[in-house]
Structure 1
Amino acid sequence: MPDSIAELDVVAWVRIVDGRLLAVRSRGRDLLYLPGGKREPGESDGAALAREVREELGLELERASLRELGVLRAPAHDQPAFERVRMACFTADARGAMAASGEVDEFRFVAPDERDLLAPAAGAALDLAIERGLLGHG
């Protein structure tokens, strides 16, 4: 990949419930994203993901269950400073009552046939979940 491409490096939680992928809508955004976000300086992937999920959904990830699903790259959406997204995707169990908070206005579970609701990286994560056998084709 050429060095001239600005890439946003993030972590994301892939959570499948009843054959649907959990997605969130951040304030002012038109498409859905996966819960997660950018690491703070010196933060590990697991720590960043746990912090982001707590801030966005009020859930505590069970760190012992954290598993890397894969790393993907996709076009950035609604990120003027970046052309592409590099997203490290993880699965993990969680505890608590889910509620949209912080910059997240809503959460919903998206079926594979509703991929048009997803930002490109979230759509790529949906494909990754299907490829890894976590989710059936819609």
Structure 2
Amino acid sequence: MKLFSIIIPVYNVENFLSKCVDSIINQILQNHIDCEILLIDDGSTDNSGAICDQYYEKYEDYISVYHNENQGLLLTRRFGYKKAKGEYILNCDSDDLLDENMLNRLKSVIEKFSFPDLIFFNYYSFDGENKEIV
């Protein structure tokens, strides 16, 4: 079983998707985090589905890709929950970036508190120039 399953619904985000996935896969590889990424293409009509497939080809040990008919965000996330194999599920939008070392810090919290049932944490809002905690 993986420690983390990161569910990323994908719909027409070809301009953002690579940055999102790179922000996660780099942490997994650098810190040896036991993690899976689920890219769930929700019927994209742009190049998003092909980008998902390219990431799968390059990182098939870490990434799973599913191509579905468009169902909307809620049903796409639910589909991801059913496929997830991790002890903890993280939701990540396809235009989000994971802060550097976020997975490592989260893993430390899990170990410190002996695998809590639920973890809440802050996030940053970034408008391209300013980054502030929410």
Q: Is this a same-fold pair by TM over 0.5?
A: no
Q: What TM-score does the superposition give when structure 1 sets the normalisation length? A: 0.25
Q: TM-score, normalised by structure 2?
A: 0.26
From the two aligned structures, give the one with the greater strand fraction: 1
Bigger Rg, structure 1 or 2: 2
